[in-house]
Amino acid sequence: MSKVHVFNAGPCLLPQVAIDNTIEALKDFSGTGVSLISISHRTKEWDAVMDETRALWKELLHIPDTHEVVFLGGGASLQFLYVAMNFLEKKAAYLDTGVWAHKALVEAQGIGEAYAIACSKDKNYTYVPKGFEIPKDIDYLHITTNNTIYGTEIHEDLDCPVPFIADMSSDIMSRPVDVSKYDLIYGGAQKNVGPAGVIFAIIRKDALGRVSRHIPTMLDYRTHIDKLSMFNTPPVFAIFVMKETLKWLKGLGGVEAMYKINKQKADLLYGEIDRNSLFVGTAAKEDRSLMNVCFVMAPGKEDLQDAFMAFAKERGMVGIKGHRSVGGFRASLYNACPLEDVQALVDCMQEFEKLNK
């Protein structure tokens, strides 16, 4: 089979070593003679996996003792409800920067008063709003740090005078984060740190228990902190792969080293988009995502879109079609995407330009 270059927006490309180690665990988990997907989660061998996975999260993101890490099922979309159930008492503000940010807002509105403090829908979510004021009388401010569909990203940790919550599904572990600034960071693993099937939540422990409503047991973060993410059967396969992925990341030098690599990959591809006469980027340059690079054919070249898609496919490019709601192209450069694959896409774009000048 010829070489393929994977740019899927999710589930993400995973490190080969994580895949290989998982294959071995599927055959025999930790010398037990039992497959990983048949193991009881009430064993010392599985306890060791959970302990190591939590420890890797805390080490790689320098998570302070004020916070705890839990692993749950249901996807980040279910976390939209968790957030409102656990933190919304009177009213909350959301930064509406894309489809998923808006869905999180709508879910909160089903629980209580929630509104958009700022919104970039006026320009099809191609920028991140700035200069907005954060009211002091809200229960929390919620942001979505990376916009996978439109290719924008909030690159720095905001200074927030109220409890601060972030969906970091698609850029977690891709850059350093000051966890101490957040009351909750959550997201799905399948963009950067593992396969689909598990979410992570990094929770400031003393931020919980402040709402007056009854919270159903399964929707109460305290349940999962108290039971070490095993109140019910955890998604063992997904957590194991997450552990192996984080071990790979640590071996590279951690999040700080990964950030430098991600900058290099993004700079290479954005540089070609800006240089190439056939393509144009869609996101505001100061807000361009390091994880999801979105671009379209240049004005007057739109009729070449299908031809480029076919040309790229012939050269092994996988997953570069833009989201169905916006069209064009999207290359997702998550952590495990190697620089060599980005260079291959750049070479493909340059070759296509030469053939169509």
- Asked whether 278 and 353 are in contact (CB, 8 A), the reply is yes
SS (H, E, C) 106-137: HHHHCCCEEEEEEECHHHCCCCCCCCCCCCCC
- Element holding 265 (H helix, E strand): helix 254-275
The catalytically annotated residue of 57, 139, 171, 191 is: 191
Known catalytic residue at 191: yes
Strands (DSSP E) contained in the chain are 5-6, 67-72, 91-96, 113-119, 141-144, 146-147, 152-153, 164-167, 184-188, 199-204, 279-281, 292-297, 317-318, 329-332
Q: How far apart (Å, rounded) are the C-alpha atoms in residues 171 and 147?
A: 9
User: 235, 226, 117, 216: which is closest to 165 by C-alpha?
Assistant: 117
The catalytically annotated residue of 57, 96, 139, 167 is: 167
Give residue for tokens 């190591």: 52
Do strands 184-188 and 164-167 pair parallel, antiparallel, or not at all (unpaired)? parallel
Tokens, residue 109: 């509105």
Q: By CB neighbour count within 10 A (0-12 exposed, 13-18 middle, 19+ buried), where does 343 fall? A: middle
- Asked whether 45 and 32 are in contact (CB, 8 A), the reply is yes
Q: How far apart (Å, rounded) are the C-alpha atoms in residues 279 and 227?
A: 51
Known catalytic residue at 260: no
Do strands 184-188 and 199-204 pair parallel, antiparallel, or not at all (unpaired)? antiparallel
- Write the single-letter amino acid at 62: H
Angle at the Cα of 352 (from 351 to 353), degrees rounded to 5?
A: 90
- Asked whether 92 and 64 are in contact (CB, 8 A), the reply is no
Q: How far apart (Å, rounded) are the C-alpha atoms in residues 104 and 96?
A: 9
The catalytically annotated residue of 57, 100, 183, 321 is: 100
Give the catalytic positions in this structure.
Answer: 100, 167, 191
